[in-house]
């Protein structure tokens, strides 16, 4: 990864995590909106989509792993989860947002319903680009053009940025992996299994 990309991802992670959770005036009761520059988010989407394009629809890896369910724009909850995990593993992590010896699996539905979907998806995307082997982000049913148009993400992006950015987001969503297989025996996905599925090769 080019040094420029790593630097920009670190900047995004700083403003979306470190600058908030270590400020007692902001966290946990007054988590602010974080309006990243438009051009920075465009760059982030472009780099994240490239990472997704290089991955298969089925991601296989070994434990240990921490698994996360629907976040739905609940930015303060996401920050709280990362902060709690860091404090419980402080001897290894110090104050870093993730542990370098653990993988993190996110099961979909990052946007819509909550008020800060943009912060949620940008933080997860930055972590994905910065730590592509540790951060696994699966697609949920809300990561689509039709659903984001109805349940809030479109309106949030339209209000805070431009509709063009929403289009770039859902184009990126189209490249997300769908299924994770842990230790060759634990299958994780956001939705159910089709009756027409008989082998993992059908997903790959």
Q: What is the pLDDT of residues 87-100, one digit of tens each?
A: 888 888 888 999 98
Query: What is the rounded CA–CA span in Å between residue 86 and residue 72?
Result: 22
- pLDDT tens-place string over residues 179-194: 999 999 999 999 877 7
The catalytic site residues sit at 142
Q: Residues of the chain with pLDDT > 70: what percent?
A: 99
Interhelix angle 153-160/117-130, nearest 10 degrees: 90
Q: What mean pLDDT is predicted for residues 6-26?
A: 95
Domains of the chain, CATH where assigned: 3-189 (3.60.21.10)
pLDDT attached to residue 198: 72
Q: Residues of the chain with pLDDT > 90: what percent?
A: 84
Statement: residue 54 has pLDDT above 90: yes
Statement: residue 119 has pLDDT above 90: yes
pLDDT attached to residue 192: 76
Query: Among 14-23, 38-47, 188-197, where is mean pLDDT lowest?
Result: 188-197
pLDDT attached to residue 94: 83
pLDDT attached to residue 193: 74
Q: How far is CA 73 from CA 24, 135, 138, in A?
A: 22, 18, 16
- Which of left, alpha, beta for 108 (phi over 0: left; psi -120 to 50: alpha)? left
Statement: residue 199 has pLDDT above 80: no
Which helix (H) or strand (E) covers residue 106, if one does? Answer: strand 103-106
Query: What is the rounded CA–CA span in Å between residue 101 and residue 61?
Result: 13
Query: Among 9-18, 19-28, 105-114, where is mean pLDDT lowest?
Result: 19-28
């Amino acid at each position: 990864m080019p040094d420029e990309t790593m630097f920009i991802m670190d900047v995004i992670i700083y403003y979306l995590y470190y600058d908030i959770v270590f400020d007692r005036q902001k966290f946990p009761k007054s988590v602010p909106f974080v309006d990243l520059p438009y051009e920075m988010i465009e760059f982030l989407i472009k780099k994240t989509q490239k990472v997704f394009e290089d991955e298969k629809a089925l991601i296989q890896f070994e434990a240990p792993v921490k698994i996360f369910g629907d976040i739905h724009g609940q930015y303060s909850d996401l920050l709280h989860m990362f902060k709690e995990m860091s404090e419980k593993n402080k001897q290894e992590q110090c104050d870093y947002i993730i542990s370098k010896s653990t993988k993190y699996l996110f099961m979909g539905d990052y946007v819509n319903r909550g008020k800060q979907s943009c912060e949620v998806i940008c933080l997860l995307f930055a972590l994905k680009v910065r730590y592509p082997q540790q951060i696994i982000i699966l697609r949920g049913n809300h990561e689509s053009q039709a659903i984001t148009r109805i349940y809030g993400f479109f309106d949030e992006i339209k209000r805070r940025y431009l509709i063009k950015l929403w289009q770039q987001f859902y184009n990126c969503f189209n490249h997300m992996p769908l299924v994770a297989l842990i230790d060759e025996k634990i299958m994780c996905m956001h939705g159910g299994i089709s009756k027409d599925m008989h082998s993992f090769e059908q997903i790959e």
